[in-house]
Amino acid sequence: MVKKKRLTQDAVVNIVFHVIAVLMIIMVIYPLWFVIIASFSNPADVASGKVWLWPKTFDVRGYQKLFEQSQIWKSYLNTIIYTIVGTSVALVVNITAGYAMSRKDLPGRKWINIFYIIPMFVNGGLIPTYLIVKQFGLLDTFLVMVLPFSVSTYNIIVARTFFQNSLPESLWEAAQIDGCSTMRYFLQFAVPLSKAVIAVVGLWTAVGHWNSWFNALIYLQNEELIPLQLLLRRILIANESLLGAATGTMAQELRQLSDMMKYGSIVVSTLPIMMLYPFLQKYFNQGVMIGAVKG
């Protein structure tokens, strides 16, 4: 009797859980789907609420106009370069530090640890940092986007934890006896054996670079250097029309085109990450786990 009651209660709970889950899936997917269909729809249909599940009339003018803008291509290219170079720099800087700190025989390990951890909690703040970057002559340079802020203590800790847990100490001891130097051991053994952590740190940094705009806002003035996300700010937030000004009936059409370009620019800028994500999900999750073990 009791058992039966329990089983029906469990069945109800199970159904409720699945219903909630399905509702959540719809709540997440629908807005994303809507952006895609809206970007291919006639803007008047979208504005008047006639588009719900599929474009009523296909219209690709938004994309046409978007791709006619040279700024889009330029900023897109900038973002790609910042992402590739920035990620490479960050990998070199953080993985080397992570390895060195994983070694128990590092003299002064405790103090070095503190040196790396303090900036996680304390920083100079916006203006002092800005003034230093200016002192180094890095304002409005390519370098400012990839170098000064590439150190991430969090990623160093992730790498250190990985090296500590998955590189057996005996391997280093054996290599040492054979006369292998630290540098050579790092390059020939540690790096090849740590593809997983390199993937994790690399992916995190790459996504960060792709989505970042704050440093560009502060340190860049030059139009030629701005990344995609900062251009999106003009299109999406400042509501600036890249197509110029117009009056009368032209203005109406221009506004509609601008709306289409908003949807289009969201798709174009977000698609690369969204497409890659399901394949790389494994690594992203791993990053959270490795970091969580010893946060």
Partner 1 sequence: MKNKLRNVKKHYQLYLLLLPSALLLFCFAYLPMIGIVIAFQDYSPALGILGSKFVGFKNFMQYFKSYQFGVTIKNTLVLSLYSIVVGFPLPILLALMCNQMKTKMFKKVFQVITYLPHFISTMVMCGLILIFLSPSSGLFANLFNLFGAKFPNLMASATGFKHVYVWSDIWQHLGWDSIIYLAALAGIDPTYYEAATVDGASTLQKIRFIDIPMILPTAMVLLILRAGSILGIGFEKVFLLQNVQNIMSSEIISTYVYKMGMQSMQYSLSTAIGLFNTVVNVIVLLLVNLMSRKLTESSLF
**What are the backbone angles phi and psi of residue 186, rounded to the nearest 5°?**
-60, -50
Determine if 40 is a binding residue for partner 1 (CB under 8 A): no
Residue numbers 182-221 binding partner 1 by CB under 8 A: 182-183, 186, 207, 210-214, 218
Q: Which of 143/243 has CB closer to partner 1?
A: 143
Q: How far is the CB of 119 from partner 1 (least distance, A)?
A: 4
Determine if 103 is a binding residue for partner 1 (CB under 8 A): yes
> 41: which strand partners?
58
Binding mask 229-248 for partner 1 (x = CB under 8 A): x--xx-xxx-----------
Residue numbers 50-79 binding partner 1 by CB under 8 A: none
Among 66, 97, 167, 197, binds partner 1 (CB under 8 A): 97
d(CA 54, CA 33): 9
d(CA 237, CA 271): 19
Q: How far is the CB of 262 from partner 1 (least distance, A)?
A: 6
Determine if 281 is a binding residue for partner 1 (CB under 8 A): yes
How many chain residues are in contact with partner 1, going by CB under 8 A? 95
Contact range with partner 1 by CB under 8 A, out of 66-74, 125-133, 171-179, 245-253: 125-133
d(CA 160, CA 166): 10
Determine if 132 is a binding residue for partner 1 (CB under 8 A): yes
Among 122, 245, 248, 249, binds partner 1 (CB under 8 A): 122
Among 40, 63, 99, 163, binds partner 1 (CB under 8 A): 99
Determine if 93 is a binding residue for partner 1 (CB under 8 A): yes
d(CA 166, CA 189): 12
Q: For residue 240, what are the CA distances in angstroms to 67, 235, 252, 262, 274?
A: 16, 5, 15, 10, 26
Could you tell me if 170 and 132 are in contact, meaning their C-beta atoms sit under 8 angstroms apart? no
Determine if 252 is a binding residue for partner 1 (CB under 8 A): no
**What are the backbone angles phi and psi of residue 175, rounded to the nearest 5°?**
-65, -40
Instruction: Output Rg (C-alpha) for the chain, integer angstroms.
Output: 25
d(CA 219, CA 133): 8
Among 42, 150, 194, 258, binds partner 1 (CB under 8 A): 150
d(CA 232, CA 75): 10
- Angle between helices 153-166 and 70-102 in degrees, nearest 10: 50
Contact range with partner 1 by CB under 8 A, out of 147-155, 168-176, 193-201, 242-250: 147-155
Determine if 174 is a binding residue for partner 1 (CB under 8 A): no
Among 76, 130, 154, 189, binds partner 1 (CB under 8 A): 130
Size (the chain), residues: 295
Residues 6+ away with beta carbon under 8 Å from 255: 241
Among 40, 162, 163, 263, binds partner 1 (CB under 8 A): 263
